[in-house]
Amino acid sequence: MGEIKKTRIALYGYWSHFRSAYDITDAWFSKLFDEFTLFPYFDFEREEVKNLLFKKPILSRLVPVFSKRLRITSLLNDFIGTDIFNSNKKGFIEEIAEILVDEIESRTTLDKRITNTENKRDYYAGISYPFIHTGYEKLLQDSHSLADGDLICIDGHLIHLDALKETNDALYESLQPTGLQWFISDFPYFQMIPGNPKYNGSIAGLRFSNELNELIGRNVPFKSTCGWYPYVRLFGVLRSSHSPKYSSLKVIDYCWMYFRAPKSFDAIHHIIENDFSASPESYCWQDLTLNEIQLLLSAIQISYSANSLSYEKAGKEIRNLVEIAISKVNKSDISAPIRSFYA
């Protein structure tokens, strides 16, 4: 079995005509992440976000008030299920994000609103290579009929520009002048290489409003030191090109997003040990490819980074697993963002 295919199975499981449905339980990497949850940062400058929050016509008169960041406690509480506490120490977006994290009822109310506004015609299973193969998925590269400015939903991986510098320097050099830092791709950054026959160079840039752009780099999934983040479902406004100079680069103006949070750093070693024997001579360890090793190391890195912990804080069990994994490959072949975490 080819390395690219093995990595895809590790991420998503596999499809077979002997099965009636796609089965994600076969994906060992997937077990290291929770189910999709709402990422509690909305870009409130986007009209699509305002339309999501204020669906009743009478509320349109209140949008200018909203835009001026005046207190709208009762409005949000009545129509979103969210109460804004009186605080001068936090920014508007951070206040709402904190409340959405703490209050399940608030997230549930917003989840229902998002579900009710989703347009299935505008859902894409990937850019050029779908995360599942059922024969019915739509791809962004084939969306020639989409009008510039359409709200879409797409599954993929977040990729930070700096992660590409070592694995695909030509791609890095071509994207660096755009000023964009985050992109969405069908593959982890270490598979975005000419040697991957399934990767055709397709990628979409992500744009954020100035206020949100200052916040996103602080936490998982937007943590640049990790280089990437798997399993995101992004809602945004599609732009057919970034600029006249970069006319072939599609850009998505971020509105909101779902992501799969990593399992607790205290729990992941049990999950890993269930799939891979602790013995370095076991068949599972012997059979892992370099990319699968990098997936394993990435999962541990992301879990610790989500809690702002360095590898120095890792327990004996995790350290044993990491040592086994790294011993199976040439350390110099491991990508820079992963290498630096375990240095």
Residues 6+ apart with CB under 8 A from 314: 265, 300, 304, 322
Structure confidence at residue 26 (pLDDT): 65
**Which tens digits make up the pLDDT trace of 200-234?**
899 999 999 887 887 787 789 999 999 999 999 99
Q: For residue 267, give the DSSP letter.
A: T
User: pLDDT over 70 for what percent of the chain?
Assistant: 74
Q: 106, 80 in Cβ contact below 8 A? A: yes
In this predicted structure, the answer to whether residue 23 has a pLDDT above a threshold of 70 is no
pTM of this structure: 0.84
CA dist 288 → 2, 125, 282, 296, 329 (Å):
11, 27, 11, 10, 10
* Residue appearing with tokens 């790294």: 326
Question: How far is residue 174's CA from residue 169's CA, in Å, rounded to a whole number?
Answer: 9
**Which tens digits make up the pLDDT trace of 228-273?**
999 999 999 998 888 777 778 999 999 999 999 999 988 888 888 8
Beta strand 123-124 with 151-160 is: parallel
* Cβ-based neighbour number of residue 155 at 10 Å: 22
Structure confidence at residue 21 (pLDDT): 46
- In whole angstroms, what separates CA 95 from the centre of its chain? 22
Tell me the two tokens of residue 237.
Answer: 């406004």
**Which tens digits make up the pLDDT trace of 27-68?**
889 999 999 988 988 887 788 887 776 654 434 444 554 554
Question: Exposure of 339 by Cβ count < 10 A (0-12 exposed, 13-18 middle, 19+ buried)?
Answer: middle
